[in-house]
Copies of this chain bind each other. A is one copy, B any other.
Amino acid sequence: MKRTFEVQPWNVVSHDLNQDDKRLQESMTSLGNGYMGMRGFFEEDYSADTLQGLYLGGVWYPDKTRVGWWKNGYPEYFGKAINAVNYIKMNIAINGEKVDLATDEISDFSLDLDMKNAQFTRSFTVTKGAAKVAFKFERFLSIEIQELSVQRVSINNLSDAAVDVTVDANMNADVVNEDSNYDEHFWSTLSTKQELDRASLVTKTTPNPFGTPQFTVAVEQRFVTDLAPKAVEQPAADEVSNEFVGSLAAGATTTIEKRVVLTTSRDYDTEAALTAAVQEIGDKVAGISYDDLFAAHAAKWAARWEIADVTIEGSDEAQQGIRFNLFQLFSTYYGDDSRLNIGPKGFTGEKYGGATYWDTEAFAIPVYLGVTDPSVTKNLLKYRYQQIEGAYHNAKQQGLKGALYPMVTFDGIECHNEWEITFEEIHRNSTIAFAIYNYTHITGDKSWVQGDGSEVLIGIARFWADRVHYSALKDKYMIHGVTGPNEYENNINNNWYTNYMAKWVLQYALEILPDVDDKNAAKLAVTDAEKTKWQEIIDKMYLGEADYEGKHIFVQHDTYLDKDLTPVAELDPANLPLNQKWSWDHILRSPYIKQADVLQGMYYFIDNFTEKEKADNFNFYEPLTVHESSLSASVHSIIAADLHMEDKAVEMYERTARLDLDNYNNDTSDGLHITAMTGAWLSIVQGFAGMRVRNDELHFAPFLPKAWDKYHFRFYFRGRLLEVAVDKAGSSVTLLKGEPLTIDLDGQKLELK
């Protein structure tokens, strides 16, 4: 844990430039607009350690799989979101000497990420001999015009004499990923064009042997400044540059704006169309001031916050935490493009390859359902529907029927490269179905599950019906050889979560089938024999249960209870975190749980279990859980809240709410935990406020954390927008928009009008 930023309600601010924390600061000050995003690395060259990352949604490259020993059926590549053309560069020289914060004498340094308006501001004063100059760098990625990045640098001469200022603004397409297998160069430049006051380039991903799409990117930089443009040589084959010079009198200030427009072949067919679009957008914004561009951007953010903001009084840490989470989540994805999804690190780092995981369905969709228009979630559902051919392919690769959604993907085809994940962590498949259920349940819109969504659901059901096997010994259907949500175990049998969810998928499929629209019903052609088989599997699905030390346990997998069940609290803390201290085999055979496993399933269907079942399983599993996944804490917080274990619920909330702000796992330097950004919201809404939908009725049973004075959030439900406020006096629910509704608050029916 390390807190390097100040606690402010709407801002993430630091006044320190510590070289050791540079990557951490870059992660924390990332910006994104769904279309593209970047780490908070500096415009000007910085000669110490830095991780320069600038990513474009849906632009990826297949990194050839390399493993010790090849296994039949392995995906041939691991898809990775790749670093794209670095278009924010602006090198500055004062009196001919380059500004470099790694070596310069600086003062008044500050970083300020304004979450309300999604702008990143950096300011500092550099002293170079007699010259003393103050800089302010501002930038934002417009959510009004997603192809647009806007930067402004203000330069104020604090010296007693004039200084010469040079700004060398360039764009460099010769970029690589740190975290790739082969230090591949993904990009080759197709063309460059360098004019006196603007420059552009077109770059394309290199061909690959796997037949995945190549991407072309066109990008142009233009400027608004009083500085004088100066003709320069093109710096290198993959780079373009514009230089601006001027003399700044003592006390004077000047500014230079850099506007970059970027288009990709995801949206335009030809190179000509790409460059034409760049010109068109560039021309359009040329006549608009920075302030007006910014105002349009900020207005759209204000509309997001209008619905989504959660206010917390009494804890500035908590207030900053929830806003940082929602800000980074929305910066990554706001439903604008159904071809995109939410990488575990969004646009803030390279880890996990920027691809789509089950995190989206399990953790992100419940939040989007609450605080964004249903169309946002719908696009996430469409994403999976559009990739169903890939899911059929994945199942076929395993010799199985139906659809297997991948653990990691860009296009539906599985592209992870460990057998214990790719082949075995198949519980992910059920989460895709659960998201359809969740959407239907919260929005009340059945058209998706009865229409195109039915193909996804039935495909997943067919996978499970083929993946189970019948154990003659036990007269049960079983699922052997899986990895559950707890990735600290591999290749286990009858993971309770996996079996429970598979059974639920079959049940839900049978429930939905009669209402599927004619077109899809004809296409799916589910036979009576299939339905009979599904029902048999449902009836005979093996779900391990046991009584253990007075508790009735849903057993994580067949032999879990045979382990040495020493609680985490009794371990010498020198062993923690396990993933850094123990060899992999030691972790695997230990009882320690990385993230909620049985409890994940109980969380999804929390009302299906008795108080005793919830309490017994929580009290059994939680002490064995090390929470070494960022996705663990929120589920525990919610179940603890359900069990009125308020201290535990708050403790777990605190582990998720400021995960990155306080660098809890000491890995935020790699990038933010974007899909875990949902945890705080889920903990507050489903945990502290006890939001449930029971028999189509919305329920709340709120409590207020001891340290807080008040919290307040808004929530979409079946066409309505509700507001929930909880303070020391009690709680209230208000209908802000939509038809009247009856809800349940603390067991009392409430008519909302």
Contacts and interface: CB of A to CB of B under 8 A. Distances in A.
A600 interface: no
Given A69-B418, A469-B564, A470-B564, A423 B584 contact: yes
A493 to B, nearest CB: 5
Interface residues of A, number: 54
Interface stretch (A434-442, A555-563, A626-634): A555-563
* Interchain residue pairs A-B with the least CB separation, the first 8: A73-B583, A423-B585, A481-B589, A68-B417, A71-B584, A480-B589, A491-B491, A66-B66
Interface stretch (A281-289, A319-327, A371-379, A471-479): A471-479
A481 B418 contact: no
A126 to B, nearest CB: 40
Given A73-B583, A583-B397, A471 B68 contact: no
A420 to B, nearest CB: 8
A259 interface: no
A583 B69 contact: no
A480 B491 CA distance: 12
A707 interface: no
A62 to B, nearest CB: 14
Interface string A420-446: 100110000000000000000000000
Interface string A583-620: 11111110000000000000000000000000000000
30 contacts: A66-B68, A66-B181, A67-B68, A67-B418, A69-B418, A71-B583, A71-B584, A72-B579, A72-B587, A73-B582, A73-B583, A73-B584, A73-B586, A74-B584, A397-B583, A419-B584, A420-B491, A424-B585, A469-B563, A469-B589, A471-B562, A471-B563, A473-B548, A473-B562, A474-B562, A481-B588, A481-B589, A493-B562, A494-B559, A558-B558
Nearest to A181: B66
Contact of A471 (B424, B481, B493, B564): B564
A65 interface: yes
Interface of A: 65-69, 71-74, 78, 181, 397-399, 416-420, 423-424, 469-474, 478, 480-481, 490-494, 548, 558-559, 561-565, 579-589
A561 B478 CA distance: 12
Nearest to A472: B565
Given A423-B584, A565-B472, A68 B416 contact: yes
B491 A398 contact: no
B493 A399 contact: no
Contacts of A66: 66-68, 181
Contacts of A480: 559, 562-563, 589
Contacts of A397: 583
Contacts of A398: 583, 585-586
Copies of this chain, whole number: 2
A311 B65 CA distance: 50
Most chain B beta carbons < 10 A, residue from A66, A423, A471, A491: A491
B68 A418 contact: yes
A492 B489 CA distance: 11
Nearest to A564: B469
Given A398-B583, A423-B584, A481-B589, A561 B69 contact: no
Given A73-B585, A584-B73, A586-B399, A562 B423 contact: no
B490 A491 contact: yes
Contacts of A418: 67-69
A583 B68 contact: no
Tell which of A69, A416, A418 has the most Cβ of chain B within 10 Å: A69
Given A480-B559, A490-B490, A490-B491, 13 more contacts: A65-B68, A66-B67, A67-B418, A69-B418, A71-B583, A71-B584, A72-B583, A73-B582, A73-B585, A398-B585, A398-B586, A419-B585, A420-B491
Contact of A68 (B78, B579, B581, B588): B78
A407 to B, nearest CB: 12
A488 to B, nearest CB: 11
Q: Which of A78, A419, A589 has the largest number of chain B CB atoms within 10 A?
A: A589
Nearest to A542: B562
Contacts of A585: 73, 398, 419, 423-424, 481
A181 B420 CA distance: 22
A418 B420 CA distance: 12
B68 A399 contact: no
Contacts of A72: 579-584, 587
A472 B566 CA distance: 11
Contacts of A69: 417-418
Contacts of A561: 473
A49 to B, nearest CB: 21
Nearest to A424: B585
Contact of A583 (B399, B470, B473): B399
Contact of A562 (B478, B579, B586): B478
> In this complex, which of A472, A481, A492 has the most chain B Cβ atoms within 10 angstroms of its Cβ?
A481
Contacts of A181: 66
A576 to B, nearest CB: 13
A84 B69 CA distance: 24
A582 B71 CA distance: 10
Contacts of A420: 491
Contacts of A424: 585
Nearest to A479: B589
Contacts of A67: 66-68, 418
A562 B72 CA distance: 24
Contacts of A423: 583-585, 588
Most chain B CB within 10 A, of A478, A561, A565, A583, is at A583
